[in-house]
Structure 1
């Protein structure tokens, strides 16, 4: 805002054109035979050119429906891609843990472990590694929180190839075909045209 330049103005125009073209889109909910909690988490690493902070994103499905999502800049600098990705895994686990407790209070307890998908093998390994390394001490609380739930078999952190990482839509620009596929997988669609009897 204080120093507008042509590239930023072009990006703003692109965003406005996208918003104008998707005004009719919405989140559609469907009946689901399962009530499992599944989360996808992702982070870019130090992508912001001015602050070098990472952007975190996750989405949580309850059954077949997208229930919650988040995309925001991480409050601290990450020393590695594994750390940035692990912090968003911890955020996704915290969200699913809260939802699991809410469902228990509503007398609908979940019987299976929550699945949290991450596309970084090191972050997946950190979730079940019982050895605390010196270079991970600064994220110790996140590590213990997630690891305790993994040990209690309430959460499973699983590697997912980037091709199936739906949370990428919240953290980075994607090719058009992949973007279309991911937002369809998140149940973001244009509603069907009403029939004559529905008006």
Structure 2
């Protein structure tokens, strides 16, 4: 801490002012604000979620209210309109707030209300990426990456690494509503330190694909059955240089995609069974977190979650505690998936590769297969809405 210019006491030149209140813009300000807000919400009967500290839940009888906090922006929803209005009035008495009405735009996410549910997109944000990249009038691409395309660190260095990083980081945020580009963005994100011209060409192809699907987003529909279903997959030794596998998963609640990932495994797997088994363990960990969250939201499905995998050896390894030369070196923490299955909290099942939706997160696919999996993830154009006058 340093004393501001003009306020230095000549008798105590090393002294500084003591702050009795967290000021806006200081490092302590966000923590102090969140503590102030959370204390107020807890006094009103809300409980802070353990799965997500930014989520607060209010339940009294049949009344249920959810409140999500992002710095000073709040999203409030629930099943009791009068209680929500009463809570907003209490909130307005304690803090100076501005009610923006129904959620339509939040942190770059655009919300469209449809008859069957919601449609989330980032059209304006996507257009800003096209402008930044100078590809507004470029020719669209059918897929984010060419089929079976692989990347290495060889090649001529790209002249502007900072520009490369800015585009990739922008595409990473776009994956919030565009899971179809998750694998491609993961691949180009591995070369942020020293990108080459080939890597930049791959980024331009992703943006050209996004340009052709500018209005696409993620649809959420009402469903009568809320089964928690996950798809887990791994592409063994996908990385040519490090020989590490790429794994991915997609988790559905009913027919709605609620979680997905495309990552490179941190260690080298000695077999495809091992890479698939590690992917299963990571998918199981995500499902465990989701079950904790759904339990706090009071919407946990009664049926046990299911993970679909296209590797029978990995499924066998999750059900039977066998140990041989090909599996005895696997870390113990990955074997917790066996305990979940033996205790009846999780179920694994085989799925053919042609129906493995997680394939879109582990490799670049041909156009027809890519478009088929994309539609099954409920990624597409906004639904047509006709309004009579």
Q: TM-score, normalised by structure 2?
A: 0.48
The question of whether the paired residues in 2 share the 8 Å contact of 1:85 and 1:123 is answered with yes
User: The residue matched to 2:221 in structure 1 has which SS?
Assistant: coil
- Alignment-derived partner of residue 189 in structure 1: 380
CA contact (8 A) 2:270 2:326 kept: no
RMSD between aligned alpha carbons?
Answer: 1.9
Q: Give unpaired runs (5+ residues) of structure 2.
A: 1-157, 159-193
Using the TM superposition, give the Cα deviation of residue 38 of structure 1 relative to its aligned residue in structure 2, in angstroms. 0.2
Q: Determine the C-alpha separation between the residues in 2 that align with 1:90 and 1:161.
A: 19
Match of 2:352 among 128, 153, 161: 161
Other structure's SS at 1:38 match: strand
Match in the other structure for 2:234: 43
Secondary structure (helix, strand or coil) at the match of 1:42 reads strand
Flag the 1:175–1:111 CA change in 2: closer, same or farther, 3 A.
Answer: same
The alignment covers a number of residue pairs equal to 197
| Matched residue SS, 2:231 | strand
Q: Note if contact 2:309-2:356 (Cα within 8 Å) is conserved in structure 1.
A: yes
252, 255, 261: which one pairs with 1:70?
Answer: 261
User: How far did residue 78 of structure 1 move?
Assistant: 0.7
1:150 counterpart residue number:
341
Q: Answer with 9-18 or 141-150: which moved more.
A: 9-18
The yes-or-no answer on 1:106 pairing with 2:310 is no
Match of 1:4 in 2: 196
Output one character per residue of 1:25-71: Cα deviation in whole Å (capped at 9) or x when no partner.
10100001111100001111111111111111000001110000000
**Unpaired runs of 5+ in structure 1?**
none
Question: Helix, strand or coil for the counterpart of 1:29?
Answer: strand
Are positions 1:123 and 2:331 aligned together? no
1:122-176 deviations in whole A, cap 9, x for unaligned?
Answer: 1111010122334323324245311111111111111111000000001111111
Moved more, 186-195 or 131-140: 131-140
- Is the radius of gyration larger for structure 1 or structure 2? 2
**So what's the TM-score if we normalise by structure 1?**
0.91
- Between Structure 1 and Structure 2, the one with more helix by share is 1
Q: Secondary structure at the match of 1:89?
A: helix
Secondary structure of 1:66's aligned partner: strand
SS at match of 1:108: coil
Matched, 1:170 2:361: yes
Whether 1:22 and 2:213 are equivalent positions in the alignment is: yes
Q: Contact conserved, 1:127 with 1:150, CA < 8 A, in 2?
A: yes
